[in-house]
Structure 1
Amino acid sequence: MDDDDLAFLALDANNNATGTVIVLLPDNSVSHIHNVNPLVVLEQCPLLYHAFEFGTHSFPQANIEATSRSAVVSLLRYLYTGDYIGDDRLDTMLNHAQTYKLAEDFDVPALQVSAYAYFTNATERACCFGTPPADLPDTVHFLYTHLASLQSRQEQKLIDTLLNYVLTTFAYHDLGNNEAFLKAIYDIPEFHQDLCRLNMQRDFQDDGKCPNYVCEPAKEDFGFTLVHRPNPGDGGRLWKDESTPSPMTSPELVSKPVNFDVDSDTLVEDDWSLL
């Protein structure tokens, strides 16, 4: 983003627009947003207003932490204009998720509602394209890092919306062969389990759309796992490329149930193995 994304600050160009919001980002870099009027944010976002220090510096400064500069710009634009999607059109799932988190941190419920609505719209719109959003893996990581606690999931439905989107478009977006997405599956076991659990709750209604990947219960200790079932029409191949297997495959469970011998540390002869 460049300074064009801050054009809305000029809507309140007066002697009070002397504040600076100093944003500490996750990589320890610092971003400065100048010409902010603290009085504009007072009514809707008292927490941000009280972050400004008056008198210590020549001009009021607010030092805050945020997951991205774009989320802070979204917050400020919302406080100034009543909406946070500007001409720069940073209308992505990740930005909406980050904006929701910042609105939660600064107790702006109306912005939380707006961010959730935009997030839902972004997932619906993504279903119309042949490829998944480029920021899908980053969105998965962000949500499961910041908004996956039990309390958070009781208060908002961003993760549920994401999971429904993934199951609905799994085959259409070829997510089973998307290495960045599969890495998110491996990196975040909770995401993997949530997908399988939701698929079961939906009575596997998406299996027809996603014939090669279904979810089945594994041994109780393991929760759920993805199962790969080759299409009869593809000659039993696991992957589209006949010559070489994919360098990165989904967690697999052979389609025959695993029988554990409770009196032994090893599987009996008829057992199949978790891969």
Structure 2
Amino acid sequence: MSAPATRVLHHGVWLQVDADDAEDRTYLRDLFGDLAIAPRGGGPDPQPVHVGIRRLDVHAWSVTSPAEVLRPTTRADLGRAVLRALHHAARDGRTSVLLHAGAVAGGRGAVLLAGRSGVGKSTLVAACLRGGALGLTDELVAVADTGLVTGSPAPLNLKAGANAVLGHLGTDGALFREDGPLRMSAAGRTSRDPAPVAAVIGLSRAPDPLPRTISGRDAALLLGQLVIPTGAGTDRGLGAIGALVERASTTAVMGRQDLAAATRFVLDLAGVR
């Protein structure tokens, strides 16, 4: 009898991952364990998005999803390929407003870390989790019409070099030893609960020693560029962003700087002591 597939829930979308290799199934069940929630009874199970994984060789896989077919050649890239399929499924199947942003939370609320791929969202989220913040997401944030935000604790998509940076921060060296995605709860506590927004921080690649305050209008324009097209509609997206920015007591932009200083700044905004 074969082991059950890995089944996860991400921003309201179910994903079922079928792997033909026992070691791969174990790896994926552990990596995506924070998203593994059994379907509720009382009605038909939701129809999942299927991802198939076939082991081609010792260091070769085929990952097939509705969006694409990928050929990872390392275990870390296998995790990234499934994570990519997960985010594609959320973008294609979600009807609420999604932002390309990370988010952590504390006593004052959530801090959005908005920016495109490669600006350091995942590294900063990981550092904030080690500092005591709740992890909501490092990639996609759902925004309600009221401005409340909800994350989904998918694995942290740490890029090459992030582990070394986090090690210098004084975090657990063993935790960040290996390259590849990391189960979010391995770095700290996570949450799926809706949260009010305490601050919006736009991240950029430009070197900038200090965060710079921006107006609420500029923050809304920044977030508007990071809305992921879904069935929610443009007008609804702009309305949700407006409500979100109105809730935020701080709106700023921050370029690349010392990770320890950036982490302290975010933790303070979130109300983490």
TM-score (norm 2): 0.28
Q: Which has the larger helix fraction?
A: 1
TM-score (norm 1): 0.28
Q: Which has the larger strand fraction?
A: 2
- Could you say which structure has the larger radius of gyration? 1
